Structure formats: structure tokens, C-alpha cells
Amino acid sequence: MIDGGVDDVVNGDDEDLLLLALRRAELMIARQGVLFRKCRDLATERDNLQSAIDNLPSPIFFKDRAGIYSGCNKAFESFIGLPANKVRGASVYDVAPEELAKVYEAADEELMQRGGVQIYEAEVCYADGKYRTVTFHKAVTRDPVSGEVNGLAGSMLDITERKRLEEQLKRAAERDALTDAYNRRRFFELADSAEDRAKKTSASLSILVLDVDHFKQINDRFGHACGDAALNHIVGLLKNVLQAPHIFARAGGEEFYCLLEECGLDDAFTIAERIRGAVETTPHMHGEQVIPMRVSIGVASVADGEKVSQTIARADDALYCAKQAGRNRVCMA
């Protein structure tokens, strides 16, 4: 029996069935080999993809349809302070403060319902506890067979420094470099907006033009550094007296404009007197030196059909009258 061949153990009637079974087994082994190679190739592609995204500087993450993290790159691990195996299976509530997690969750759900891509700015809390501003770039992923949304992929771009620079540029465009008060250009932008609001609501709008009396004498006697400090002293007093929605700006030199919304001529005069009194009773201290300061102020209210620039011209005329009348006083146009 041991020395026999297949013909000794298989009847002639079973030979065809055995050959068919062997052929099927051969085909199954071949298919399993193909499947194995495909699985190996997919694993290689996955590892190559993971290696590629791990070398990218931006945090990248993947989530399933339920919003649960299914993967990430090294940059995301560093951002979140957790290894990938801890990120997988976590939700946004496990890796972010609740107030931020709610924002991310709502954005994810909106994207998965709508499909396509999504770009938005949001705050994030890094592993070190510091908050930074990022731009999220996200897109849905789809099942290759059904085409149904099965999750999303996203990346984060840190724009904190860019936002800081933008804010600095915006501030430089709007603010006086010496006093940090609004500059003349920004004042007229805000005045135009206030003028439009006043027309819609029939509210009063008034202008003060303020000039520091004998400012040149301060510069000549105590120096320009003292003069600069004196202007900042005036700005501090204006901040104390003027409350929102009123604003002021340094028009140039020692002259300031004040814009008083919902304020008629009489109330504007009262506010101007309050400013004048604050300046008169609060001298500027230059070291041990007490430097008395005074201001003259012109007041005007925007008339029907009048532009703010025209009102400023009338307030400036009133300021001239205050100067001519002896300074340290308020005059109305």
C-alpha cells in the first residue's frame, strides 16, 4: 500500500472527481496568493502613506462617520500630546476643552451632511495648554463601493503669527503711533459710519475739536519727550471722560477730534466742559515737576444735510473763537 500510486487507491470512477478537487484546490491557493499579495501591497501603501504624512509639518487627522479619530500623523500627536494609539478611538471631547470640542463637533457634522470640503478658522488648545489660531482644511471620505460618506480627513495650519501680524498692521493703520489714539484717517471712517447711523435713526451727532493751550511752551521748556508724555496725559483724561459710543482721535500735533454719538449741542457742550475741567485740575507730572495744562475746545452738531467734515470746520472755527477769547474755554458753533 505504501509503495502504491494513486491508481492503487482511487477507483477509475473517482479519478475525475479527484482531479477536479485538486484543480479547485490549486485555484484556491492561487487566489489566496493573489489576495495575500494585494493585502501586502495595501499594507505597504498604508505604511508609505503614514510615513509620508508623518513627515509633513501640519497636523493631519482622520475620523469615522461617528466623529471618532481613526488615525493621525506625528505632528497631530505632538499637537495633542498623545500617541496615535491613544488618539484612535477618541472623540473631540477626549482631546479638547468642551467649549472647543462643541465647535469642532458641529463643524464635522455639518461637513458630513453636506459633503465636499470645509475651511474655517478656530482656536485650538495645544498640549502645553496654550491657545493658538489655526485654519482647518477638511474633506469627507467615501466608501469606495457604496459611495456613502464614511468619515473625514483634515489638516490644521497654525496662523497665530499671521493673525498677530495682521492685527499689528491693522492697528498701525488705525492708530496714532505716539498716543495709540485713533488716527485722523480712522476717525473719518468711524465718523462716516456714525453719520449713516444718525441719518437712519434721526439721532444727534456732535463734534469737538480740542487743542492743547501753549503746547509749544511745554516742548520748548521741558523738551519734546515731556511734550510727548503730555499728549499721552491728555489721551488718558479723554479716555476717562468719554464713554462708548463716543470716540476721539489725534488729528495731528496737539489737536484732537471727538465724535459724540446720540448727543446734541447742549450735551456736547457739557461733555466738553467736563474734559476742559479734567485737564485743568489734573496737571501733568514730569518727574518732580508739576506742569499745569489747559485746553480750548470748539463744539458743533451735525446739521441736516451737513457732512461731518463740514461740521468739523465749524467746530474748528469755534475753537478759534475760544483761543481768541483767552483760551481754557469752550465755545459753540
CATH number of the domain that 70 lies in? 3.30.450.20
Assess whether 195 and 99 both reside in one domain: no
Assess whether 198 and 139 both reside in one domain: no
Would you state the pLDDT for residue 1? 44
Assess whether 213 and 308 both reside in one domain: yes
- Give the domain range for residue 306: 175-332
DSSP code, position 282: S
Structural domain ending residue among the three candidates 138, 164, 190: 164
Q: For residue 132, what are the CA distances in angstroms to 156, 161, 168? A: 11, 9, 17
Q: Is 30 within the bounds of a domain?
A: no
User: What is the tally of structural domains in the chain?
Assistant: 2
> The CATH number of the domain where 216 resides is what?
3.30.70.270
Q: Is 47 within the bounds of a domain?
A: no
Contact 191, 251 (CB under 8 A): no
Q: Is 89 within the bounds of a domain?
A: yes
User: Model pTM?
Assistant: 0.67
Assess whether 201 and 327 both reside in one domain: yes
Assess whether 245 and 131 both reside in one domain: no
Q: Cell 456613502 belongs to which residue?
A: 148
Assess whether 189 and 85 both reside in one domain: no
Rg (CA), the chain: 38
Structural domain ending residue among the three candidates 112, 134, 164: 164
Q: Is 232 within the bounds of a domain?
A: yes
Catalytically active residues are 254
DSSP code, position 303: P
Assess whether 247 and 216 both reside in one domain: yes
Assess whether 105 and 184 both reside in one domain: no
Assess whether 189 and 217 both reside in one domain: yes
Name the β-bridge partners of 62. Answer: 71, 153
Assess whether 131 and 271 both reside in one domain: no
Q: Is 7 within the bounds of a domain?
A: no
DSSP, collapsed to helix, strand or coil, labels residue 256 as: strand
Q: Is 6 within the bounds of a domain?
A: no
- For residue 69, the tally of other CB atoms under 10 A from its CB is 23
Assess whether 198 and 325 both reside in one domain: yes
DSSP letters spanning 230-243: HHHHHHHHHHHH--
Helix (H) or strand (E) holding 208: strand 205-212
Q: Is 46 within the bounds of a domain?
A: no
Structural domain ending residue among the three candidates 164, 191, 206: 164
User: pLDDT means per 10 residues in the chain (333 residues)?
Assistant: 51 68 79 74 68 86 95 92 91 95 97 95 93 96 92 95 93 94 96 93 96 96 95 97 95 97 96 98 94 97 93 97 96 95
Would you state the pLDDT for residue 27? 81
Assess whether 147 and 184 both reside in one domain: no
Q: Is 42 within the bounds of a domain?
A: no
Cα dihedral sign, 75-76-82-86: negative
Length, in residues, of the chain: 333
